[in-house]
Chains A and B, each alone.
Chain A
Amino acid sequence: MREIGAPAAVVGALAQALLVALAAPLLVGLVRALKARLTGRRGPDPWQPYLDILKQLRKEAVISTTASWLFRLTPFVLVATMLVAATVVPVLVTRPALSFAGGIMLLMYLFMLGTFFLALAGLDSGSAFGGMGSSREVAVAALAEPTVMLAVFALALRTGTTNLGTVAERLGGEPALAAHPGHLLAFLAFFIVMLAETGRLPVDNPATHLELTMIHEAMILEYSGPYLAMIEWASAMKLFLYMTLLINLFVPWWIPTEVTGAGMLLGMLALAGKLVLLAVALAVLETAVAKLRLFRVPELLAGSFALALLSVASVVLLR
């Protein structure tokens, strides 16, 4: 903010938000395609999600007579939170336009804001499936929260900041910082949280047809047309942001620190490369494990919490 003028900041913010918004569906498509290949299918075109979203945008919306204005507001809130989040996470440069606005805590609470409204929307139409999804979703989100904070705490202790940009810069600056058991533990903890928060296996199955086992899908069963498109788009962005965050916080190399053509290009390539690797890892994991029994999920999150706790402890004690 102080380095670059306000108008430039706005432009930068819009640019990055736009990039995230445009690239996110491709990442989802990529994971789907990879999973198809892993099970011996030719699978869908990675660009398929764009076609799906565009189609939904042009369709009619059928809305439950029970639902209220909140149901129609929610998709907009979701998109809004994700767009704002997209200007907070270091994606293109270590210090995106709004990196000063509140750091990782803002990010986590923005995601929470989305969860809050989506869960309400799930209840709004009064279907049992929606309520079930909401109840499960908020439980998972609530139990995932402490892990995130502790993982962040570990990073903050290592780098002396909760400002995402600064974390990335410090780690990028001296990779030695990353060579610490606490760092690895924090990474693992954060990875598990990512699975839970973005509704991937083994917590939730984005591809399931069984209402009774759904978490995220159950909340959006009632959505259709443009509203559905917005929600799908927002959750794609959420996945993109979480994966980028994971990468740029824990493997923060080749992220340009200021806006230069060459640097940006290198940065983009590096990001793309890292994302593909992570996507492969995610696809393999999702193919190799079954979904957890619902009440094992808290145990998983407790495990991630323990990891985070360990990481902080190691950082504190091995100082």
Chain B
Amino acid sequence: MATSLHVLMALGGLTVGLLGFTGWMGDARALDVPWLVPLSGLSLRMDPLGGFFLLLVGATTVPSSIYAIGYARGARRGLGAYALFVLAMAVVPLAANVPTFLLAWELMALASYALVLTDDRDPAAVRAAWIYAVMTHAGFACLLSGMLLMTAWTGSLTFADWPAAATTLSEPARNLVFVLLALGFAGKAGVIPLHVWLPAAHPAAPSHVSALMSGVMIKLGVMGILRVGLEWLGVGPPWWGVVLMLAGTLSALGGVLYAAVEVDLKRLLAFSSIDNIGIILIAVGAGFVFHSTGLETLAIFALAAAFYHILNHAAFKALLFLGAGAVVHGAGTRDLEAMGGLIKRMPWTSAAFLVGALAIAALPPLNGFVSEWLTFQALLQNGRIPRPELNLVFMLALAGLALTGGLAVACFVRAFGIAFLALPRTEAAAGAQEAGPTMRAAMALLVVACATLALTPTLLLPPLGATAARLLGDAAPSSREDLLTIAVSGDFATLSMPVIAAALGLGLVLPFVLLRVGHAPSRIRYYETWNCGRLLQTSRMEYTATAFASPFRRVFDFLYRPERVVEIEAHGESRFFVRRMVYRNPTRSLVEDWLYAPLLGAVRAGTARVRAIQSGSANLYLIYVLAALLVLLVLA
């Protein structure tokens, strides 16, 4: 039952992906079912952008579902929610009018909510679901009001009618709508400071679902922002882009900084999703600014970079989440401090995770490097904008992005090194089992995806550029094509992934050959790790995850505000014979303490009823939402 459904989902994902691909490549499709959705009827339109995201949904669903075959082990719980979740995500990019969009959007939220609650005996999961519900609905309220305003002012529920009408709107009106919708979408995308739900919710869900949530769902928020700022509202003022860039920088830095000290592997990945959304937003924001300053080519290039990173992140973040799932499966823990030595017990998983880590750390010759490179280049182009204040914004984003890149390397050295290398720190880790065939297959699939994305930027950029061009409503060429290299605006910079890959390969082989030719005696003797001649090595001697992050805890203590708790039980007067000594060094989240602790408190107090409903069944909940929807529509 479960297995067959997952197989079905995989096939479905494949078809959806192909469908999306055709749409992305430009053939428009339309589907209208007037009776299905109140007010306007269900209406779907396929445009390149929608096709692109549909492709993303389908392509990520395939490995996730294959993985789920082995991972869920025929557990029935959450099957329906999973199917509904994927379906909703497939509808969102195509929704062509307000009711369809909001309905699909809400279904997506509900399904994911249910999936977060998959293990409802776990209090952490329950709390996560609760935060998630609150945040989603705050966001939903913003979207609802924003869209209703647009409907009221343009007199149409159909998105297609908005761009034309938007030009007639007053500046303040457009700004208001932009802010409302951007807030709503940013919340879904997990942009700091609207991110608090994400690190709680993503880890709580089963890993293949986490992969979809991080790889796809949050990207739909980005899609929303693109539609609002570039399509529905026409050309906006530069500050829209500036805000996006700053928010992006904040998210990128904040995300990676929290990831760098996190000890829960899945939470770490969730935080790094925030970081990557930030990177995407930086590129998007740059696109906005270029667009509003009339530099269309650069705008297209920046957006293409954003799209590229969206694809890349889907690939390696899904890979990493599936890897983490395999670890949780094998070693039975999410806590880095309890892992170690897995590389010898789970060779396949470790190899896959290593590839993912290299990719997300944006290291050549893998795909993360391509989009990071493109983003950097896009930002470096800002010299063309003759406005110093904008240049300085770009400069900040650039520095932030660079720091993020560096920290990401540190973060994933730590994640991989502590989890997979050296000696196991616990019995469970020592007895870890390698993942099953389907899980491995799914990871292999994503490894291939990463490699492909890494080697084919020359093939991918033109269509991405075209998509961007369509979005901006002009048909400028994205970039000069060349089978080997991408040239950014002439001589500014060039990139050639195949050459890099080939060169690195050669460089790897060369020393091998030289050693053989120089017949250096390859005598290898294995002996214990050097411990200053005293004792056999124990896992107690290994650096811990917390220890590894200690330099960052010191440098960025204003952010983590680490506490140092030492309890000492001394023996009589002798301070040199301490009986017992306990040490803890926890860090806390700035945003949660200063922004949400009071906020959530208030919400909790205020909305007892809502809470009652949320703890109840999903259907009840659905009805409530639809009711609210209808009421508001009627009012409008």
Contacts and interface: CB of A to CB of B under 8 A. Distances in A.
Contacts of B549: 135
B403 A146 contact: yes
Contacts of B400: 146
The 4 residue pairs across chains A and B that have the minimum distance between CB atoms: A131-B543, A80-B507, A126-B422, A142-B406
B585 interface: no
Given A127-B541, A145-B405, A145-B406, 12 more contacts: A70-B343, A81-B504, A101-B496, A101-B503, A103-B495, A139-B551, A145-B402, A146-B403, A149-B401, A150-B398, A166-B491, A226-B522
B537 interface: yes
A105 interface: yes
Contacts of A225: 523-524
B521 interface: yes
Interface stretch (A59-67, A175-183, A251-259): A59-67
A22 to B, nearest CB: 13
Given A101-B494, A139-B410, A62 B525 contact: yes
Contacts of A109: 362-364, 369, 372, 405
A62 B527 contact: yes
A100 interface: yes
Interface on chain A toward B: helix, strand, loop, or mixed SS?
A: helix
Contacts of B493: 102-103, 105, 161-163
Contacts of A13: 503
B336 to A, nearest CB: 12
Interface string A214-231: 000000011001100010
Contacts of A230: 511
A298 interface: yes
Contact of A127 (B354, B398, B529): B529
B485 A298 contact: no
B409 A142 contact: yes
Contacts of A83: 503, 507, 510
A255 B485 CA distance: 25
B494 A298 contact: no
Nearest to A69: B343
A16 to B, nearest CB: 12
A139 B407 CA distance: 8
Interface of B: 343-344, 354, 358, 361-364, 369, 372-373, 376-377, 380, 383, 388, 391-392, 395, 398-403, 405-407, 409-410, 412-414, 416-418, 421-423, 484-485, 491-496, 499-500, 503-504, 506-508, 510-512, 515, 518, 520-531, 537, 539, 541-543, 547-552, 554-555
B344 A98 contact: no
Given A145-B406, A230-B511, A298 B392 contact: no
A83 B504 CA distance: 8
A58 interface: yes
Contact of B491 (A65, A120, A153, A163): A163
Contacts of B547: 131, 135
Contacts of B525: 60-63
Contacts of B372: 109
A143 B257 CA distance: 12
Contact of B395 (A80, A144, A153, A221): A153
A195 to B, nearest CB: 17
Interface residues on A, range: 35 or more
7 contacts: A61-B523, A64-B526, A64-B529, A116-B413, A141-B410, A146-B400, A163-B491
Contacts of A190: none
A106 B500 contact: yes
Contacts of A279: none
Contacts of A282: none
A157 B381 CA distance: 9
B528 A135 contact: no
Given A102-B373, A145-B406, A163-B493, A135 B504 contact: no
A113 B363 contact: yes
Given A66-B537, A80-B511, A126 B526 contact: no
A112 interface: yes
Contacts of A33: none
B508 A76 contact: yes
Contacts of A160: 383, 491-492
B364 A68 contact: no
A309 B399 contact: yes
B398 A145 contact: no
Interface stretch (A24-32, A42-50, A269-277, A311-319): A311-319
B141 to A, nearest CB: 38
A183 to B, nearest CB: 16
Nearest to B401: A149
Contact of A126 (B354, B369, B421): B421
Given A64-B529, A80-B507, A221-B530, A126 B542 contact: yes
Contact of B364 (A75, A106, A316): A106
Contact of B422 (A66, A80, A146, A298): A66
Contacts of A128: 541-543
A57 B423 CA distance: 29
A162 B383 CA distance: 12
Given A66-B422, A139-B555, A105 B409 contact: no
B499 A305 contact: no
A68 B421 contact: yes
Contacts of B485: 1, 100-101
A20 interface: no
A132 to B, nearest CB: 7
Interface in A112-163: 112-113, 115-116, 119-120, 123-128, 130-132, 134-136, 138-139, 141-146, 148-150, 153, 156-157, 160-163
Interface of A: 1, 13, 57-70, 75-77, 79-81, 83-84, 87, 98, 100-103, 105-106, 109-110, 112-113, 115-116, 119-120, 123-128, 130-132, 134-136, 138-139, 141-146, 148-150, 153, 156-157, 160-163, 166, 221-222, 225-226, 230, 295, 298, 305, 309, 312-313, 316-317
A183 B577 CA distance: 59
Contacts of B364: 102, 106, 109-110, 113
Contact of B523 (A60, A119, A130, A298): A60
B521 A134 contact: no
B418 A123 contact: yes
A298 B485 CA distance: 37
A68 B421 CA distance: 8
A60 B524 contact: yes
A59 B520 CA distance: 8
A313 B503 CA distance: 36
Given A102-B494, A142-B409, A156-B380, A1 B484 contact: yes
Contacts of B520: 57-58, 226
B492 A163 contact: yes
A139 B551 CA distance: 7
Contacts of B491: 160-161, 163, 166
Given A102-B496, A115-B409, A145-B403, A124 B416 contact: no
